[in-house]
Amino acid sequence: MRGSERPDPDARAPDAPDAPAAAARARNGVSEGELRIVPANQASWDDLQAILTGTAGRCQCERQRLGDRDWWHLPVEERAAIFREETHCGDPRAKETIGLVAYLDGEPAGWCAVDRRGVYGRVRGSPVPWKERPFESKDDDTVWAIPCLVVRKGYRHRHLTYDLVAAAVEYARERGARAIEGYPLLTGGKEIIWDEMSVGSVGAFASAGFREVSHPTKRRVVMRLDL
């Protein structure tokens, strides 16, 4: 997720013509190639690490969970060790994991973090999810969140974030979630580096049925789907 690229189709407006088709592909298990999305414990650790390169590799998807302060002082190796323990990669019998892995034509292609909203230290500490919603409880474990999406270089521009968000909704629903949220970035049609797009695009969430519930900053919105 390094460098600047041309505008990504994942960042298109919600009414992009093929956005509904992307959600349908996720439901049918087919994308532009054979798409398979599995809980992270059913993926290998090496496959997941193949997806997390550049900034994502340094983050190890722990900044959202630990919060900025605790994350900042940890070496990458320790972040990875925590992440590996939480994902239970390579253990299909594990009862819990913290995200989904997408395979396209058998190759690891994408990652989506999804879990109970309250476990994400950065979400809890950020004003974005809570501004304009003063009565929303940070401790409500029936509300889940999708705070991070990563698509491996070479597999971008295929709407995989649309597929991952749709799959994450079903994953949360099956585990008793009452609602699920995302905190995507408004691009305004401008070039966006992949590091910024790790929170996802409005189009990816809208295509899965999410609606905007607040607009706390100029470039960020809170989107929610009641299940």
Domains and CATH numbers, the chain: 9-226 (3.40.630.30)
Beta strands 30-31 and 33-39: pairing type? antiparallel
> What pLDDT was estimated at residue 177?
98
Q: 104 pLDDT exceeds 80?
A: yes
Long-range Cβ contact pairs of 72-77 (< 8 A, separation 24 or more): none
Q: Would you place residue 157 in the very low, low, confident or very high pLDDT band (cuts 50, 70, 90)? A: confident
pTM over 0.75: yes
DSSP strand pairing (179-182 vs 143-151): parallel
- The Cα 18–Cα 13 span in angstroms is 11
pLDDT tens column, 169-227: 999 999 999 999 999 988 776 666 656 678 999 999 999 999 999 999 888 999 999 99
